Structure 1
Amino acid sequence: LFLSQATKQFLEEINKWTSQHGVSPLSWDVAVKFLMARKFDVLRAIELFHSYRETRLREGIVKLQPHEEPLRSELLSGKFTVLGVRDPSGASIALYTAKLHHPSKTGNHVVLQALFYLLDRAVESFETQRNGLVFIYDMAGSNYTNFELDLSKKILNLLKGAFPARLKKVLIVGAPVWFRVPYNLLSLLLKEKLRERVQMVKMSDLRQHLPRDCLPEHLGGCLSLDNTSIHVPGPEAMGLAELMAHLNRAQRSGIYLEYEELRREQPPGTFTCALAVHNQERNRYGDVLCLDQTRVRLKRSDYINASFMDGYKQKNAYIGTQGPLEKTYGDFWRMVWEQSVLVIVMTTRTDEGGRRKCGQYWPKEEGGQEVYGHIAVVNHRVDKQAHYNQTTLELHNTETFEQRQVTHFQFLSWPDYGVPSSALSLIDFLGAVKHQQQWAVQAFGSQWRGHPLGPPMVVHCSAGIGRTGTFCALDICLSQLQDVGTLNVCQTVRRMRAQRAFSIQTPEQYYFCHTAILEHAQRRGLLSTNQ
């Protein structure tokens, strides 16, 4: 009740100002963001709102265009990163890498635009609003030509009082000797309360502030920022007009040849565990195996035909797996429980063309209950849509007496080896899945301490490579398109096949990824039909 009253009071005051100045009124969600940053002290939140607004005006940061130069290049430079993990208290961790900044090439204005854009994205998460932000100013390996006192002042001033996030600490790491004098100047500028939170730390002492699994490898942690697996924009990324030109030039036959080249590349790993005699009966198909390097390991029986797959800027965004066999139902549900899965995506029917494609591994009817190993599954509700069913399941762990809700999506309009009858129906389905994942992560709250986008989504078809790979490739490409306005289907599929071997099973599915993206773009008005 108190939080609701504080939000109403804040909105009344701010929207008096917005109406006087002809500015759009603030939404409830934005109001909560400013209030949480100031522990629901209304007057301090109002002061923060005006400080934020004035800073943006002063720095000319009115409308951010992430798909346009020069901001696009700055976002792709890797200078700013919001890490895909949280600290033990649940705070987001943002990293600024000083050695990547070259003042002679990039003005302060663009750097601050990129910082605003990425921090704005980070504090969209309720968890970050509630638990705050840790900012690592990484000076390791930088020299005097990478440094600009005015920019450093602006970054710290922005963090100290002009950004709607609860700043927990700023760690200046690996500062060279010459930085001590500018740092003394900077510390004089900071309010006493913030000065305690801004600390210069040696690289070797960083682990006293953050555990290893919250730090990148180059700062002594075990978090990989390696771009070879996590999907990030690469130099070959293309805009929508380029994608359409590529498709028009190559035609279907050229895209099929592109797929054939990918298909010939050998998977970069081994299949030792999947080929072990005692595990072979757990594989639905003898020629669809999971790589040792990316397989999901169960805590007890260890083996399941399932692979971790990275998403767009997110490690282990998906678990790609086969349609469960009767003998693996218990393994499947144990994996769902152990990996804190909130959403299961099934892109097949149980039977197709008179052949069993997947076991009925969940209670199908509303009110139905089944026990699989030590996980009891209850079907609470089935919502039937035109192209898919959405089932709300409740899981009960009979060993720990905990319970959890999982949403099961089954897409019904996709034949095996083929492509969906409607690309847009699949993209709408993908939208529903992502919306549910987002809602479930918020509901899960502080129980989840990993990537802000949540635990992995389980995605499966029959073999777990064709329709599964197509679904994940579309999600990755459309996420990148939304973020920076570019994508690269070939690069995405190549990286995906390095984690779930043989992902995307046919040239038709590969071609479909291209045409589905363009259909989506045309529907959204991102690409005119005469381009």
Structure 2
Amino acid sequence: MGSCNSKTLTRSGLIKLVDKRNAVKFICDEHREIMDIKVEGTFCARSFAENLENSQLEKEETWFKHNRVILSEETSSSNYINASYIDGFKRPRAYIVTRTPDSQKTICNFWKMILEHQTEIIVMLNKSEENGDGISYWNPEEGSSLQYGKLTIKTFKIHENYHPSFQITSLLVTHEDGKMLYVSHFLFKNWQRDDILPSERDFLDLLFMARLYDRSAGTSIALSGYKSPIVVHCSDGLQRSMVFCVVDISISRILKLDKVNLFSIVSKLRQDRYNCLYDPNDYGFCYLALYCYSTYYMQE
């Protein structure tokens, strides 16, 4: 296996690589090399039943202990959440990556996690219909509310006209003890299935809008030195969500260093989110998104 340093590309080098006639083979071979790297760590596992039509399929989730999100007062499995801290570029725990909550229990724990971490940005990369029962963890009607345990989630404002590919919703999370948190929720509508990739420009527009909101978030707690993580989720918490992190980290590296190493970034993230980014198509999409960024966005 080649060293990670040998795979570092400048922005212009990345453009040249993707423009090559054999780029697809190169990227697939590189992804295969990543898959051959041994994943090490202490694992946790949990079995759960997934509803499929009128039957149930027993499945198992596996995650790493070292960066697992642990909810406060965790005394039983009812406080379990399949979520992992992911470091950004020079920003520890920049993201929390998780599965889209799809039951009353997981939705309660999802919102508990949001409030405990003071998260102000949620990026959702699948539609609610992709969940087994089509359950949504917020009400899509402006002015409406949902109650989950001790938390009330109010749909404060729906911003319809920001972009045709995603919707931004302002939510107000209120705990019964009076604590309140405003959350900006980004719903990406153009990545409806894992096997059908979205437009790179639509994806980057979403990413940059989330980055813009993130820069302006947390002014009230920034004085303490704490920067809340962006919560990113998709149907399995392994593919689309991790693509978002990879591209965001890579763009930060290009902006600061004018170079990027996708091989190194993805290899590292696979040590933090078990079995993530296993699809070579998603790895290729990361290259295409960075190519689009380098050739289009940086020219504007």
User: What band does the TM-score fall into relative to the shorter chain?
Assistant: 0.7 to 0.9
2:14 aligned with 1:243: yes
- Consecutive unaligned residues of structure 1, counting only runs of 5 or more, are 1-232
- Partners of 1:469 and 1:525 in 2: CA distance: 23
After superposition, the Cα gap between the structure-2 partners of 1:522 and 1:244, relative to the gap in structure 1 and judged at 3 Å, is closer
- For the residue of structure 1 that corresponds to 2:59, the secondary structure is coil
The 1:443–1:249 alpha-carbon spacing in structure 2 relative to 1, beyond 3 Å, is farther
Cα distance in 2 for partners of 1:283, 1:336 equals 24
Deviations 1:309-354 (A, max 9, x none): 00111110000100102121111111111111111110001114xx
Distance in 2 (CA, whole Å) between partners of 1:426 and 1:500 is 22
The SS at the match of 1:396 is strand
Q: Distance in 2 between matches of 1:445 and 1:341?
A: 13
Q: Measure the CA separation in 1 of the matches of 2:72 and 2:198.
A: 40
SS of 1:289's partner is strand
TM-score, structure 2 length as denominator? 0.87
Match of 2:252 in 1: 479
Pair 1:389-2:167 in alignment:
yes
SS of 1:434's equivalent? helix
1:333 to 93, 101, 111: 111
* CA displacement, residues 232-278 of structure 1 (integer Å, 9 cap, x when unaligned): x9675310222233332642122112112222333221323x33xxx
- Determine if contact 2:238/2:277 at 8 Å carries over to the other structure: yes
Paired residues of 1:390 and 1:409 also in contact (CA < 8 A): yes
Going from structure 1 to structure 2, the CA distance change for 1:338 and 1:235 (only over 3 Å counts) comes to: farther
Q: Which residue is equivalent to 1:376?
A: 152
1:23-422 alignment, distance < 5 Å = 236-247=7-18, 248=20, 250-272=22-44, 274-275=45-46, 280-281=47-48, 286-301=59-74, 302-326=79-103, 327-352=105-130, 356=132, 359-384=135-160, 385-398=163-176, 400-422=177-199
Give the length in aligned residue pairs. 283
Secondary structure of the equivalent of 1:415? coil
Shift in alpha-carbon separation, 1:472–1:357, aligned structure 2, 3 A: farther
Distance apart, 1:513 and its partner CA: 0.7
How far is 1:524 from its partner? 3.2
CA distance in 1, matches of 2:156, 2:32: 44
2:54 maps to none
- Structure 1 residues 358, 473: CA separation in 2 closer, same or farther (over 3 Å shift)? farther
Deviation at 1:490, TM superposition (A): 1.1
| CA shift for structure 1 position 465 | 0.8
Shift of 1:357: 8.0
Q: Which moved more, 1:329-338 or 1:251-260?
A: 251-260
Q: Which is helix-richer, 1 or 2?
A: 1
Max Rg structure:
1
The reply on whether 1:438 has 2:205 as its aligned counterpart is no
Take 2:60 and 2:10, find their aligned partners in 1: how far apart are those partners?
36
Q: Does structure 2 conserve the Cα–Cα contact (< 8 Å) formed by 1:318 and 1:457?
A: yes
Pair 1:234–1:480, CA change in 2 (3 A)? farther
AA of the residue aligned to 1:383: H
Q: Secondary structure of the equivalent of 1:281?
A: strand
Distance 1:282 1:367, change over 3 A: farther
Q: Secondary structure at the match of 1:441?
A: coil
Paired amino acid for 2:271: A
Instruction: Verify the 8 A CA contact 1:263 1:502 in the aligned structure 2.
Output: no
Could you say which residue in structure 2 is the equivalent of 1:502? 275
Which residue type is aligned with residue 48 of structure 2? E
Displacement after TM superposition at 1:401 (Å): 1.2
Could you say if the C-alpha distance between residues 369 and 496 of structure 1 is closer, same or farther in structure 2, counting changes exceeding 3 Å? same
Per-residue CA shift, 1:23-46, capped at 9, x if unaligned?
xxxxxxxxxxxxxxxxxxxxxxxx
Distance 2:71 2:193 in 1: 28
Whole-angstrom CA distance in 1 between matches of 2:98 and 2:239: 11
d(CA) in 2 for partners of 1:339, 1:491? 28
Which residue of 461, 467, 475 corresponds with 2:240? 467
* CA shift in 2, pair 1:243/1:287, >3 Å: farther
Instruction: Note the C-alpha offset of 1:410.
Output: 0.6
Q: Quick one: structure 1 residues 316 and 234, their matched pair in 2 at CA, closer, same or farther if it must change by over 3 Å?
A: farther
Contact map agreement 2:102 2:132 (CA 8 A) in 1: no
Q: 1:394 to 1:282 in 2, by over 3 A?
A: farther
Matches within 5 A, 1:424-435: 424-435=201-212
Structure 2: 5+ residue stretches without partners: 52-57
The amino acid that maps onto 2:25 is S
Q: Distance in 2 between matches of 1:334 and 1:409?
A: 19
**Aligned-partner residue type, residue 366 of structure 1:** E
Which amino acid is the alignment partner of residue 329 of structure 1? Answer: I
2 CA distance for matches of 1:282 and 1:344? 26
In the alignment, is the contact (CA less than 8 A) between 1:238 and 1:486 conserved in 2?
A: yes
Report if aligned partners of 1:357, 1:462 keep a CA contact under 8 Å in 2.
no
Query: By how many angstroms is 1:415 displaced?
Result: 2.9
Distance 1:492 1:467 in 2: 15
Q: Report the AA paired with residue 392 of structure 1.
A: S
Contact 2:49 2:59 in 1 (8 A): no
Query: Does the Cα contact within 8 Å between 2:9 and 2:260 map onto a contact in 1?
Result: yes
CA distance in 1, matches of 2:190, 2:289: 15
CA displacement at 1:440 relative to structure 2: 1.4
Q: Which has the higher contact order (CA 8 A, sep 6+)?
A: 2
Q: CA RMSD in A?
A: 2.4
More strand per residue: 2
> What is the alpha-carbon distance in structure 2 between the residues aligned to residue 440 and residue 334 of structure 1?
19
> Aligned residue for 2:55?
none
User: Within 2, Cα distance between the matches of 1:265 and 1:257?
Assistant: 13
Q: Secondary structure at the match of 1:442?
A: coil
Q: How far is 1:363 from its partner?
A: 1.8
